[in-house]
Structure 1
Amino acid sequence: MTLVLQKGRPADTTGRLDKEIRTYDLLDGLGVGYDRVDHAPAMTMEDCKEVDEILESMVCKNLFLCNRQETAFYLLMIPDTKVFHTKDLSAQIGSARLSFAKPEYMEKFLDITPGSVSVLGLMNDKEHQVKLLIDEEVLDSEYFGCHPCINTSSLRMRTADLIEKVLPAMEHDFVKVKL
């Protein structure tokens, strides 16, 4: 399958999930420009390599985390080149014993499944159960890549649009972290 960079939403949304279409509706409604690549399911960062070359943007690892009591939940956006160390992050956000949250919480709060974790899933977090953490290197990049809540497409958008338009529309703020 040859990967092609396309502008905006797919012309034909037949067979696409509602949560993906809702993502395009949100971005289009806010006037946020984005490019899209459709691809085979990308479950790992390794699967994303070819897609990332086409997107030419900051490649983010999106990690869904929680505290030991499973009472606080976090979505962490870090460059794919960085290694996540619990201790470094725990100290910055004042939450000890961070670990990966169970997939059930991911589906419950963000309506996404493992392999599809995306900052855009926060549009489904109406109860504000998930706190967004963004590494400073992601914030410093002009563009970043993410999934439209499904791992068979990837988007490239301006980081400034995420911060200035998308997050306010989703009524979410973020905490800047340094990992």
Structure 2
Amino acid sequence: MDDEESFREFVSARIGRLSRIAFLLTGEHHAAEDLVQVTLIKVARHWRRVIRGGNPDAYVRRALYHEHVSSWRSRRHREVLAADPPERQAGRNESVDAVRRIVLRDALARLAPGQRAVIVLRYFEDLSEADTADALGCTVGSVKSQTHHALGRLRVVAPELAELIEDAEVPA
């Protein structure tokens, strides 16, 4: 199998998961699509080296998080967040789960990108502290402190998620 074909198969098998992760990081569908596209373009350039490394999933995931942080840093001076997002203005009558997803998405959007990445990796991707540290290129201690600060921030910005936050803090 040639490199192009193996890359296509990899992307085809994982595009849904990568898109969900990107959405959780960005909070917007269009931004998530852009993040996945830019990341995959960069990964495709080095695909042969990626598959030789033996763990393309970890490589692509790490590239996704690094691209997210890089794009956030370059945009942070231009982007303005609305105090009242369109989802709240529409006044939709959603089920409890749908409302919780919206609240969670809004709460994640209010975290710093590093904190958001740690929460997504630890609780959505279900990675260990060591694997999260490896994915983000930091120490386990940084992951622990970022997680602690992020959960504290979530408690403040979304008290209605207290039950989820308490569940997250219970050691496995």
TM-score above 0.5: no
TM-score (normalizing by structure 1): 0.25
TM-score (normalizing by structure 2): 0.25
Larger radius of gyration: 2
Greater helix share, structure number: 2
* Bigger relative contact order (CA 8 A; separation at least 6): 1
